[in-house]
C-alpha cells in the first residue's frame, strides 16, 4: 500500500488550478477572453451596438474577412504567405461585373469563370513561389499590384452596376438570408466547419502542419511538401473568388477599389488568432476569434463617434498587442512546462527511492 501511494501518477494529483493555468496560457484562450471583454464594453458603451441589425452587420462583414482568413491560415501554417488577397478579391468582383454587364453572361456562368480565375491566381502564386523559388513575399506583393492594376484597367476605373431588371438564383446566395442570418455568414460557418475538420482530422491537414513545422523532415518522411504548399495557395485563391461572387451577388455592383486594405484585415485575423509567422502552428478557431475581434472593433469605434479610419489604427494596435501577448504566453507556457518537467522528475525520483526502500525492507 505504501508503494502504491508513492508511485501514484503525477498527472492525477496535479491541482486543478495548475491545469486551468496551463489551459489559459494559450493564445486562443486569451483572445477569447479579449473578444468577450470587447463585446461587453461596446454593448454597454456604444449606442445601437447591441441590436440585432448591427450584430448582423458585424456578422456579414466578419464573414467576408473570415472566409479568406481560414484559407490564409492554411498557407501560413504551411510556412508561406499571400499578400495579394485584397487585389485578388477586387479583380474577382470586377471580372464578375464585366462578364455580366459587358459580355451579357449569365451570372452563374460568370461565377464559374471567376472560380477558375481564383484557382489560376493561387496556381501562379504557388508555382512561382514553390517551384521556381521566389520568396512568397516578393511574388504576392507583385501580384497584389498587378491584380489591382488589372481591375482598374478592365473597369476603366469606373464601377459596374447590374441592370435593374436582372434576376438570378445566384443573388440570394450572397444577398439572401437563412432566417435572420445573412447568407455570407452561413457560408462562413460552412468554411469554418470544413476548414477545421480538414486541418485537424485529415491526412492533408497533418501534412500542412508538418510542412510548416519542419519542411526538410516532412520531405524525408515522404510528404509532398511542394504540392501541399501549392494546394494551400490555390485554396486562398478560391476563397478570394468565392467572396467576390458573394459580394457582387449581394450588392449587384462592383467597384475597382474593392478589397483595398483587405489583406491587412485577413492577416490580422490570422495572427491575432495565434498562428505563427514561422509556420507549423495555428488553427481555425483562433482565426475565427481574430476576425470577430477586428469586426467588433471596426464597428464599435464608429458607433462611439470615432472616424472610420480609427478602425485601421485600432486594428494595427491590436495586432501588435497580440504579438506581445503571444511572446508572453509562449514564455510563460515554457516556464510552466519546464517546472512541470522538474516536478515530474522529482516525483519519479521520490517514487524510486520509496520503492528501493521497500524492496530493501522486504529482503
**How confident is the prediction for the chain on average, in pLDDT?**
86
d(CA 70, CA 65): 9
Q: What is the pLDDT of residue 73?
A: 97
Q: H helices then E strands: how many in the chain?
A: 16, 4
Q: What is the pLDDT of residue 243?
A: 97
d(CA 94, CA 104): 14
Residue corresponding to grid cell 449587384:
252
pLDDT, tens digit, 9 for 90 and up, residues 51-82: 999 999 999 999 999 999 999 999 999 999 99
d(CA 281, CA 262): 23
d(CA 5, CA 271): 46
Q: What is the pLDDT of residue 315?
A: 79
Residue corresponding to grid cell 521520490:
350
Say whether 166 sits in a helix, a strand or coil.
coil
Q: What is the pLDDT of residue 91?
A: 97
Q: What is the pLDDT of residue 159?
A: 93
d(CA 358, CA 82): 63
pLDDT higher than 80, residue 21: no
More confident site: 5 or 234: 234
Q: Cα dihedral angle (336, 340, 342, 348), rounded to 10 degrees? A: 180
The contacts of residue 310 (CB under 8 Å, 6+ apart) are 301, 302
Percent of the chain with pLDDT over 90: 66
Helix (H) or strand (E) holding 358: helix 309-362
pLDDT, tens digit, 9 for 90 and up, residues 300-356: 999 999 988 887 888 788 778 777 766 776 676 555 444 445 444 444 554 444 445
Say whether 8 sits in a helix, a strand or coil.
coil
- pLDDT band for position 26 (cuts 50, 70, 90): low
Q: Which CATH class is domain 51-321?
A: mainly alpha
3-state secondary structure 212-235: HHCHHHHHHCCCCHHHHHHHHHHH
Q: What is the pLDDT of residue 312?
A: 80
Q: What is the pLDDT of residue 276?
A: 83
Handedness of CA 228, 231, 237, 239 (dihedral sign): negative
d(CA 7, CA 10): 8
- pLDDT band for position 147 (cuts 50, 70, 90): very high
- pLDDT band for position 171 (cuts 50, 70, 90): very high
More confident site: 179 or 6: 179
Q: What is the pLDDT of residue 15?
A: 61
pLDDT, mean of residues 140-149: 97
pTM score, whole prediction = 0.84
pLDDT, mean of residues 244-264: 93
pLDDT higher than 50, residue 295: yes
pLDDT, tens digit, 9 for 90 and up, residues 88-121: 999 999 999 999 999 999 999 999 999 999 999 9
pLDDT, tens digit, 9 for 90 and up, residues 184-206: 999 999 999 999 999 999 999 99
C-alpha cell at position 112: 464559374
- The candidate with the shortest Cα–Cα distance to 141, out of 123, 156, 129, 127, is 129
Q: What residues are paired with 161 via a beta bridge?
A: 253
C-alpha cell at position 92: 474577382
d(CA 314, CA 60): 20
Q: Domain limits of the chain?
A: 51-321
Percent of the chain with pLDDT over 70: 83
d(CA 212, CA 209): 5
Q: What is the pLDDT of residue 17?
A: 60
d(CA 47, CA 55): 12
Helix (H) or strand (E) holding 254: strand 253-254
| Cα→Cα distances 139→129, 135, 174, 241, 283, Å | 7, 6, 31, 19, 25
Amino acid at each position: 500500500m505504501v508503494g502504491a501511494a508513492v508511485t501514484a501518477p503525477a498527472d492525477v494529483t496535479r491541482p486543478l488550478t495548475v491545469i486551468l493555468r496551463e489551459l489559459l496560457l494559450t493564445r486562443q484562450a486569451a483572445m477569447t477572453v479579449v473578444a468577450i471583454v470587447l463585446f461587453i464594453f461596446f454593448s454597454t458603451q456604444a449606442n445601437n451596438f447591441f441590436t440585432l441589425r448591427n450584430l448582423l452587420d458585424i456578422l456579414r462583414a466578419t464573414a467576408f474577412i473570415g472566409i479568406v482568413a481560414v484559407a490564409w491560415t492554411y498557407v501560413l501554417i504551411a510556412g508561406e504567405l499571400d499578400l495579394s488577397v485584397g487585389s485578388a478579391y477586387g479583380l474577382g468582383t470586377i471580372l464578375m461585373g464585366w462578364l455580366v454587364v459587358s459580355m451579357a453572361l449569365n451570372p452563374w456562368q460568370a461565377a464559374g469563370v471567376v472560380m477558375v480565375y481564383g484557382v489560376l491566381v493561387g496556381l501562379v502564386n504557388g508555382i512561382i513561389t514553390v517551384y521556381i523559388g521566389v520568396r512568397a513575399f516578393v511574388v504576392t506583393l507583385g501580384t497584389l499590384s498587378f491584380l489591382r492594376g488589372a481591375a482598374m484597367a478592365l473597369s476603366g476605373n469606373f464601377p459596374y452596376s447590374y441592370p435593374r431588371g436582372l434576376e438570378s438564383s445566384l443573388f440570394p446566395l450572397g444577398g439572401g438570408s437563412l432566417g435572420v442570418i445573412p447568407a455570407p455568414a452561413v457560408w462562413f460557418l460552412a468554411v469554418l466547419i470544413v476548414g477545421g475538420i480538414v486541418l485537424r482530422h485529415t491526412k492533408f491537414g497533418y501534412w500542412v502542419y508538418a510542412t510548416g513545422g519542419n519542411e526538410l523532415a516532412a520531405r524525408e518522411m515522404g510528404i509532398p511538401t511542394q504540392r501541399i504548399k501549392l494546394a494551400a495557395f490555390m485554396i486562398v485563391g478560391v476563397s478570394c473568388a468565392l467572396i467576390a461572387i458573394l459580394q457582387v451577388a449581394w450588392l449587384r455592383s462592383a467597384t475597382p477599389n474593392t478589397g483595398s486594405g483587405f489583406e491587412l484585415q485577413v492577416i490580422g485575423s490570422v495572427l491575432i488568432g495565434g498562428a505563427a509567422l514561422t509556420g507549423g502552428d495555428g488553427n481555425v478557431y483562433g482565426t475565427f476569434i481574430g476576425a470577430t475581434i477586428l469586426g467588433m472593433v471596426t464597428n464599435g469605434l464608429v458607433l462611439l463617434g470615432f472616424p472610420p479610419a480609427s478602425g485601421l489604427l485600432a486594428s494595427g494596435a491590436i495586432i501588435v498587442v497580440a504579438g506581445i501577448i503571444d511572446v508572453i504566453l509562449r514564455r510563460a507556457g515554457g516556464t510552466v512546462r519546464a517546472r512541470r518537467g522538474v516536478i515530474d522528475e522529482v516525483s519519479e525520483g521520490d517514487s524510486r527511492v520509496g520503492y528501493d526502500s521497500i524492496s530493501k525492507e522486504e529482503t
